[in-house]
Structure 1
Amino acid sequence: MIIGMGSDLCNIERIQNSLDRFGTRFENRVFTEIELRKAARRPHTKAGTLAKRFAAKEAFSKAVGTGFKAGVFMKDIGVVNSPSGAPTLALTGGARERLDALVPVGHAAKVHLTLTDDHPWAMAFVVIEALPSE
């Protein structure tokens, strides 16, 4: 069963402006080390890479119904790749706690994530599914 769904559209130029203005202070406040390493490997599209991840964080916060309050922080939501290369989310802290609170007893959460960008826009869509535990 679907227990949450969220989407976000992010302007890549807005992320570039934040990188130019605040630099590593912005990066370290918002993004995980894994996300920053991925972006560093893409110097020509760094802002786009980070904008997609920013959108994923926003989309997840909408899917769990909190936004960035109730203990859910941006750095608790990290975009990682599964072994197949598909993007998914690694959750810690308040983001993990909020997700766990939504999942019905006897079920486990599966987070689906899709990312795309076409300059100047980046988009993310999150669907949270509760699957019966075996």
Structure 2
Amino acid sequence: MDNKIGTDIIEINKIKESVNAFGDKYLKKIFTTKEIQYCMKYKKTYAQHLAARFAAKEAVIKILEPLNEVIHFKDIEIVRYSNGSCKVELHGNAKKLAMERNINYTSVSLSHEEKYAIAMVLVSTYKKE
């Protein structure tokens, strides 16, 4: 079994500026409906929540190492459990690549504060013999 780690950090203002400039078009291109609904309910800190998810998506892409494949940001969904922890759900090409790379366990940690959001993603892989 092997482990891989991906991490990403982002300035929250970059997400806020994109939302302000492009609105729903930007949100719907990057985030799933569930992600948008969850983040936008936090009127004052929505950008922090969106930025953390954006960073997680970038971290997953770093792990998947797509070469000729296109991974859409919406193919990577960050789902929040009622206890506050999060998980990664993959769809489309992201799911296909994960299966090809024998990824069978994913863990994600998100953190944000006033200026920055960060995400760390850990995956475990094993080959079926």
Please confirm whether the aligned pair reaches a TM-score higher than 0.5, indicating the same fold: yes
- Which residue in the other structure is 1:111 paired with? 106
Q: CA deviation at 1:63?
A: 1.0
- Which residue in the other structure is 2:16 paired with? 16
- Which residue in the other structure is 1:101 paired with? 100
- Which residue in the other structure is 1:74 paired with? 73
Identity %: 27
Do the aligned partners of residues 132 and 102 (structure 1) sit closer, same or farther apart at CA in structure 2, a change above 3 Å counting? closer
Q: CA deviation at 1:5?
A: 1.7
Pairing of 1:1-134 with structure 2 (within 5 A): 1-66=1-66, 70-82=69-81, 84-103=83-102, 109-130=104-125
List alignment gaps of at least 5 residues for structure 1: none
Paired AA for residue 52 in structure 1:
A
Q: CA deviation at 1:40?
A: 1.8
Work out the CA distance in 2 between the residues paired with 1:98 and 1:3: 16
Q: CA deviation at 1:118?
A: 1.8
| 4+ runs deviating over 4 angstroms | none
How many residue pairs match? The answer is 128
Give the alignment's Cα RMSD to 1 decimal.
Answer: 1.9
Does the 8 Å contact 1:4/1:64 carry over to 2?
Answer: no
Paired AA for residue 19 in structure 1:
V
TM-score, normalised by the number of residues in structure 2: 0.91
